[in-house]
Amino acid sequence: MKFAVLVFPGSNCDIDCYKAVKDTLGEPVDYVWHTATDLSAYDCIIVPGGFSYGDYLRCGAISQFAPVMNEVAKAAEQGKYVLGICNGFQILTEAGLLPGALRRNESIKFRCHDTTLKVVNYKTPFTKDYAEGEEIVIPIAHGEGNYYCDEETLASLKANNQIVFTYTNNPNGSVADIAGICNERGNVVGMMPHPERAVNTLLGSEDGKRMFSSILKTWRDTHGTASVR
Amino acid sequence: MLKATVYVTIKKSVLDPQGVAVQGALHSVGFQEVESLRIGKYIELTLDTNDREEAGKRLKAMCEKLLANTVIEDYRYELEA
């Protein structure tokens, strides 16, 4: 299974994501520059955290038009796995690959600490190694992680089981305590917390590890079936 | 040449934490009469056209596509020669 970690000018969690894949899974992973126009070689695309294009105008607003984002949309359409973390989540909402928007934290503070998340949907390709309702510890680091969507969108997120993680102690004012969501098909996930910063007990938690192992497991399951045919 | 001014504000239905903080700061320095305060963005553009109608259409497209995130923001613009 081959992973791409996108790199925008201003990405600063790209190395963490790269290492999380390499060290946790031992699978091939490449850094892919924002100007790239071909992602066909990759099975999973990680849009990392940071401050792409300096977060000018709004976080993720300018990145949504980076050439590589057309390819991300194509990959999502093809059913490949796309994981947006923090600024990556903001980019995916701006690009329209996920519903809603991220606003400034209600407290106006940049929040940087461990949070406890509840795994609401353990059936996505990214969460299969978790148990339903399991509580996990994953750090956050953001000033604009306050998820917003209107009531209609929230109702459809709930109806389609698109809420993947919620905070047990909402740190930013997000609607319905939402920490992460997926698209209807479940192959695109966006989340504000950083699973790549929780892959080793040395980092304080290794609860993020299973997100990466879930993706690999799902991929192996589907490709195993394909090869039997 | 036309000069355009675009104002982007957080929708009324959406909390504006920056506005709330600044309102609180004004209160704390004695400006109790401030009943509400919202912070937005002010964008100035110079357009290489004299066609106001066309410029209006293009501005609307710019706002919808990039300048405002219509999930959480409203926008309006003014055009002058």
How much is the average pLDDT of A104-131?
A: 96
Render pLDDT for B6-36 as a digit per residue (tens, 0 to 9).
999 999 989 898 899 999 999 999 999 999 9
| Structural domain containing residue B14 | 1-78
Check whether A190 has a pLDDT greater than 60: yes
| pLDDT class of A150 with cuts at 50, 70, 90 | very high
How much is the average pLDDT of A206-225?
A: 91
A194 given a catalytic annotation: yes
Residues of B in contact with A62 (CB under 8 A): 66
Cβ-count burial A158-197 (b if 16+ within 10 Å, e if not):
eeeebbbbbbeebbbbbbebbbbbbbeebbbbbbbbbbbb
Nearest to A108 among B10, B18, B71 (CB): B18
Which pLDDT value is given to residue B81? 84
Asked whether the beta carbons of residue A61 and residue B72 sit closer than 8 angstroms, the reply is no
Chain A nearest C-alpha distance from B48 (Å): 22
Q: How many domains does chain B have?
A: 1
Check whether A226 has a pLDDT greater than 60: no
Tell me the pLDDT of chain A averaged across its residues: 95
| pLDDT class of A229 with cuts at 50, 70, 90 | very low
- Which residues, in sequence order, are CB contacts of A101 under 8 Å at separation 6+? A93, A94, A147, A148, A149, B69, B71, B72
Length of chain A in residues, anyone? 229
What does each C-alpha distance from A130 to A57, A77, A117, A126, A127 come to in angstroms? 37, 26, 12, 9, 6
Which pLDDT value is given to residue A157? 98
The whole-angstrom separation of Cα A151 and Cα A27 is: 40
Domain of B61: which CATH number?
3.30.1280.10
Asked whether the beta carbons of residue B15 and residue A173 sit closer than 8 angstroms, the reply is yes
Which domains occur in chain A, in start order? 3-225 (3.40.50.880)
Residues of A in contact with B69 (CB under 8 A): 58, 61, 94, 101
A86 given a catalytic annotation: yes
Render pLDDT for A83-109 as a digit per residue (tens, 0 to 9).
999 999 999 999 999 999 999 999 999
Which pLDDT value is given to residue B59? 97
Which pLDDT value is given to residue A70? 97
Which 63-92 residues of chain A touch chain B by CB within 8 A? 65
Which pLDDT value is given to residue A187? 97
Interface test with B, best of A102, A104, A142, A181 (most B CBs within 10 A): A104
Interface test with A, best of B16, B39, B70, B71 (most A CBs within 10 A): B71
Check whether B2 has a pLDDT greater than 50: yes
pTM across the whole model: 0.93
